A and B are shown apart, each in its own frame.
Chain A
């Protein structure tokens, strides 16, 4: 039997939310109805990355890439494409520049400029089938390490590759492995940090959902190098699909003898267990993560001792992030020199970013280190939504900073982002346009930090609360110029004195917006104006009497009856009653409602 067609349906969380499961079912039914079971196969893959245009369906071997597919489209895809070999043109991606329909994903701007190493299998294989992973050189790196290399040789290879931790810190991975290997101790642990709490970041989840075996394989290699026989994956309970796929993968790997006792007859034994988080951002910090795995409150600890010396259950523990692990097997197979040939001088390889916010192509991308922000936002991301003006890009999540127009041409790597006042972080990248108020954004991030602070050290617990109050005062129209000075001083104290990474980086959004958007802060405190019209207390709605036709639409939409006026006569808004909900602005067909 030869299978001619493979129909890949995206099974990532984003596409599943748009009913990709029903598409999969409809395709299978249609294939059965047309008697094509022997020639066509439907496969549910991990995330394709192009979430903006989801749900995505790809047909192989002709690499046809269908976007925004609905369950009703299954019939046409089967009867036209699979039976007659004619592509369904209306489901193809339209290039926004040329307005031509593009059938092969290779020619879509979003993919053309990417280089996929960590995401190499996402969207290509069925993550619930170990055979497909093996067919794409899966577990070959583990075999190579176990049968032909000493642990020192493997660590040397990782060191030479220049791989740095992808969770945010950027610590050299090979060095971390070496320290754990050299730490004295009978029992050691390998931990995978899959506690992706950074709002707006979903790269780890996509890797676990789309290619869980790559992480398991790398953890086993790590175990071989450090002398650990037990691996623990700490994952958020909020990621049910990723947990499910990991469980399936662990089961299959055990069955295939790739986890468990005496792997591949080498005498090396290694097994993996899943540990659940319960929703606490601070648990992404390695010492807090270890406390949480021990069944305690996830409070950060003073370092040193580092986990590589004394971690889980008091034993040397190597903690790496999901994306870091996903890079390991490829490095061993293709060699350190190949990997080190990609990227910038001090940041090698690629980085996955979750592109979100006011951007045309929301999704998951992977680019070589050294790519510029402009290339990412305007090249791959397709520019700003609705033709608006770019204002800022926030990298590194709540710990990162807001970068502006003038930073767009810096090549992205760990050191450059740090020098610009932001950081790599885990790879969240949120784009903001002219309608976003940067003071409100800083407040939004502080909101998050205040809620997520573990409460152990005073600078973070109390200091961030005070920062938040100052920002509330400013956005509420009661701030003064002295408050800006106070804001900066307090932020610097927190940065210098907080205990862990969360606290030390939490003032970054405030500091970077103060530096890059000082004018906006000044407008808030001097003129009591918010030019982005986001701060409710600083905005005022009014109706321009010259334009108003007296259609009464706004008066009917107003939830608090703040608008009065006779039919066919100009209306007016009572500023004392107005709650600034913006309903009138949305409803008015003549553009008579204005904001000040």
Chain B
């Protein structure tokens, strides 16, 4: 019964979108990961209500959807910032000082890893290797990759985005 009520609370446009995406993949539980990719591209994250709607569409337990969402690091249940910051903690970046860069982002943004700033502008994450090891340490903000970073350069990068957000 509770499931029904929660589903009701989902805006109808969201419910329709979930329905459409599941249909595109033939409502096949084997396509679950592709469906979740498509939904995260659309909504930016995968809240519980969306996971419940997917489970209902595919006729599988919510636990299975939740299990997959929490297993893979690419899926997130909290909204990302407008400018998602990902600090590479791959080995090459680590030995060239990525931890200090991460600490500086934490200090400047006043959030921890996996969190989003209150104004919704930035979220902070770690990832393992974008494969630009020649430029280590590397940080990506959205699609843009910044290489050869030092803690001193962090403030400059962030202020560029603050400025862009104001415009």
Binary per-residue interface labels of chain B (107-145) against chain A in the complex, 1 for a CB within 8 Å, 0 otherwise? 000000000000000000001111111111010000001
Given contacts A17-B147, A357-B92, A358-B95, contact A205 B72 (CB under 8 A): no
A51–B133 contact, CB under 8 A?
yes
Binary per-residue interface labels of chain A (194-236) against chain B in the complex, 1 for a CB within 8 Å, 0 otherwise? 0011111110011000000000000000000000000000000
Is A335 an interface residue when CB atoms closer than 8 A count as contact?
A: no
| Size category, B interface | 35 or more
B68–A200 contact, CB under 8 A?
no
Is A297 an interface residue when CB atoms closer than 8 A count as contact?
A: yes
Chain B contacts for A60, CB-based, 8 A: none
Task: Give the docked Cα–Cα distance between A200 and B94 (Å).
Answer: 10
Given contacts A18-B135, A200-B129, A238-B130, contact A280 B92 (CB under 8 A): no
Residue of A with least CB distance to B88: A199
Is A394 an interface residue when CB atoms closer than 8 A count as contact?
A: yes
A432–B95 contact, CB under 8 A?
yes
B74–A279 contact, CB under 8 A?
yes
Q: Which of A155-163, A288-296, A320-328, A409-417 is the contact stretch?
A: A288-296
Residues of A262-311 whose CB lies within 8 A of B = 275-281, 292, 294-298
Is A354 an interface residue when CB atoms closer than 8 A count as contact?
A: yes
A278–B33 contact, CB under 8 A?
yes
Is B45 an interface residue when CB atoms closer than 8 A count as contact?
A: no
Q: Which of B5-13, B15-23, B24-32, B154-162 is the contact stretch?
A: B24-32
Is B102 an interface residue when CB atoms closer than 8 A count as contact?
A: no
Binary per-residue interface labels of chain A (410-445) against chain B in the complex, 1 for a CB within 8 Å, 0 otherwise? 000000000000000000101010001000010011
| Size category, A interface | 35 or more
Given contacts A237-B37, A295-B32, contact A197 B74 (CB under 8 A): no
B147–A202 contact, CB under 8 A?
no
Contact of B33 among A199, A292, A394, A441 (CB under 8 A): A292
Residue of A with least CB distance to B144: A17
Contact of B74 among A13, A54, A200, A237 (CB under 8 A): A237
Residue of A with least CB distance to B140: A17
A357–B91 contact, CB under 8 A?
yes
A428–B135 contact, CB under 8 A?
no
A295–B31 contact, CB under 8 A?
yes
Task: Give the docked Cα–Cα distance between A59 and B33 (Å).
Answer: 43
Query: How far is the CB of B131 from the nearest CB of chain A, in Å?
Result: 3
A295–B134 contact, CB under 8 A?
no
Residue of A with least CB distance to B129: A199
Chain A contacts for B36, CB-based, 8 A: 278
Query: How far is the CB of B126 from the nearest CB of chain A, in Å?
Result: 9
What 6 A-B pairs are tightest by C-beta distance, nearest first? A51-B134, A202-B131, A199-B90, A278-B72, A17-B145, A356-B92
Identify the B interface with A (CB < 8 A).
28-34, 36-37, 64, 67-68, 71-75, 89-92, 94-96, 127-136, 138, 145-147
Identify the A interface with B (CB < 8 A).
13-14, 16-18, 51-52, 54, 196-202, 205-206, 237-239, 275-281, 292, 294-298, 354, 356-358, 362-363, 394, 397, 428, 430, 432, 436, 441, 444-445, 448, 454
Q: A238-B74, A295-B32, A296-B68 are in contact. List 20 more A-B contacts (CB 8 A).
A: A13-B132, A17-B146, A18-B135, A18-B147, A51-B132, A51-B133, A198-B129, A199-B90, A199-B128, A199-B129, A200-B129, A205-B131, A280-B72, A295-B34, A297-B71, A357-B92, A362-B92, A430-B95, A432-B95, A448-B128
